[in-house]
Each structure stands twice: as C-alpha cells, then as structure tokens.
Amino acid sequence: MRKSIIVTGASSGIGKATVIKLVESGYQVFGLARRYDSLTSIYSDLASSIENKENQYVAMQCDITKPERFDDIIKDISSKAQGNTIYGLVNNAGYVEPGAIEDITIQDIRKQFEINFFGLVELTKKVLPFMMLDNSQGRIVNISSVSGLISLPLIGAYSASKYALEALTDALRMELWNTNIKVITINPGFVNTNINTVSKPKLDNLIEKRSSRFSKTYRKYMYNVPKGLPSDSVADIILNAISSPKPKTRYIIGSTALKLGVRMKKFVPDRIFFSQVAKRIH
C-alpha cells in the first residue's frame, strides 16, 4: 500500500519538484495550491511508467489563507488516501514579502504571516489527528529557510515569519517526541524557483511608487539574486527526510560555505555581524 502525503505549494518550485519525486518513489501525493491548472499540469511531468496517475497524484485547489475550507479538503483527502490515513505533510507554501520594515505596510507583514505561518499552523492542526490514528509512523516536514536562522535586512518580514516557524516546529517536535511522528525542518539557501518572480512587482512598486531610501539597494541586491540550487536537489532531501527511518531534525541545504556560515554565525560577535551586513545596504 502506498503511503499518502500532502504537499502544500505544489504548483511550482520546490513543492512541484517534491510531488514528482515522491510520486515516482512510490508515494501517493495530494498536491495543494491556488493555481489548479499548474497543479494538473504536473500529470504530464510524471514518468510515463507510472500507472493510474490520477490515483497516485491528486491535485487539489487550496488557498492556505482560507482555513474555513480545510475540513472539507482534509475529509476529501482522507477518503481518497490509501488506508484512509495520512503519513506525511510537507508544509511548503510560501513567498517573500520584500522591503525594509519602514517601506512595507503592516498589512504586508500580516499577509506574510498569514501565508508562511498561520495558514501552515492551521493546516497542521487539522491534519495531525489523521496522522495520529493508530499511532502509526508519520512525517511533518516544514520548509523554513536559512532566513529562519539568520535575519537579513530588506526581507525582515519574511525572516520573522520563518523564525516563528522555527520556534513552532521545535515545540511541535518535542510535543510529538513520544509518538511515531517525526518533525523535520528544512533550511534551504538560494533555490532556483518562482519565488523572486512573485516578489518582483512588489519591489517595482517600492521603487517606483514610494521614494524609498533603499531604492538603489533593492536594485543592487534584490533584482540580481543568485539563481541557486535546482528545486530537484531540495526535493531529494525532502524525499530522504520522508523515507528515512531515522531522519535528521534539520537539513541545511546549500554550498559548504553557506552551511559553514550558518553554523559559525553564533560565534561571531553581534556588533561585528550587524555592522558588516549594515555596511552593504547603506
């Protein structure tokens, strides 16, 4: 029997690559996102050797900021899930609200949290009882970011949402310690996805409509973000976290220099770290 896994933010980038990897590795996957056309286009990306594709991958429209629909969606999933239980939840939906704190509105910051944090928490709370049925094995994989470990300027709202996710994930991991459900954090660095395309009109707006003192800096750093790793390489690690009997609690994904930088940051005095980063934006 195939184990059933829910992946949010499945319509592009890391989520889409994860859906394909999981289905092709023998899992039944429920892919959630707002863009249904993009979700269904995944059928044509699945290996032709997969039989009965509509059963192995189920596309489901879901806006993570509309929790009033979660009960219906989860009921639908559990009725279609093999064995009517849910083995895994990959909380991946997210976006970057770009801009210095002085440039973005409180509504922008709330929206960042609605999608990257509150939506994820509400969905997890709804899925958890199904995962806990008969105390079977389970995996909750939360896609954080290196920005959940180091806060950087001009993406403060995004970092704050990922720091909140880190705190919640750590608490949940300890609360589920005596169950068979393992909670895993993924911290990617730069990954080549649509994330910057989604942010670009927001940046254009900050530069054109508001006379920000950071306009030059936005152009310098945020229009030229390094392309980063392919989504596939993150999906490989998510697959490993899902299928390994003893997954790590955290996977930091990126170059050796990035991993080392993250690990070493706690040894750098605050004043040195903050002044060096601040120098680059002023």
Ligand X SMILES: NC(=O)c1ccc[n+]([C@@H]2O[C@H](COP(=O)([O-])OP(=O)(O)OC[C@H]3O[C@@H](n4cnc5c(N)ncnc54)[C@H](OP(=O)(O)O)[C@@H]3O)[C@@H](O)[C@H]2O)c1
Query: What x-and-dash track marks residues 54-93 binding ligand X by CB under 6 A?
Result: --------xxxx--------------------------xx
Q: Is 185 in the site for ligand X (CB under 6 A)?
A: no
Please answer whether residues 85 and 106 qualify as being in contact, where contact means their C-beta atoms are separated by less than 8 angstroms: no
**What burial letters (b/e) apply to 167-203, b meaning 16+ CB within 10 Å?**
ebbeebbeebeeeebbbbbbbbbbbbbebbebbeebb
Q: Is 13 in the site for ligand X (CB under 6 A)?
A: yes
Q: Is 104 in the site for ligand X (CB under 6 A)?
A: no
Compute φ and ψ for 196, nearest 5 degrees. Answer: -80, -30
Among 88, 138, 156, 188, binds ligand X (CB under 6 A): 188
Catalytic residues: 158
Part in contact with ligand X (CB under 6 A); list of ranges 82-90, 168-176, 194-202, 272-280 = 194-202
Please answer whether residues 92 and 143 qualify as being in contact, where contact means their C-beta atoms are separated by less than 8 angstroms: yes
The separation between the first and the last C-alpha atoms of the chain, rounded to the nearest angstrom, is: 57
Among 6, 22, 164, 191, binds ligand X (CB under 6 A): 191
Amino acid, single-letter form, for residue 151: S
164 contacts: CB under 8 Å, gap ≥ 6: 113, 117
Amino acid, single-letter form, for residue 132: M
Is the Cβ of residue 9 or residue 138 nearer to ligand X in the bound state? 9
Part in contact with ligand X (CB under 6 A); list of ranges 49-57, 177-185, 193-201, 244-252 = 193-201
Q: What is the CB neighbour count within 10 angstroms for residue 39?
A: 24
Please answer whether residues 32 and 58 qualify as being in contact, where contact means their C-beta atoms are separated by less than 8 angstroms: no
Number of residues that bind ligand X (CB under 6 A): 31
Q: Is 190 in the site for ligand X (CB under 6 A)?
A: yes
Query: What x-and-dash track marks residues 15-34 binding ligand X by CB under 6 A?
Result: x-----------------xx
What's the min distance (Å) between Cβ of 33 and ligand X?
4
Tell me which residues touch ligand X (CB under 6 A): 8-15, 33-35, 38, 62-65, 92-95, 115, 143, 145, 188, 190-191, 193-195, 198, 228
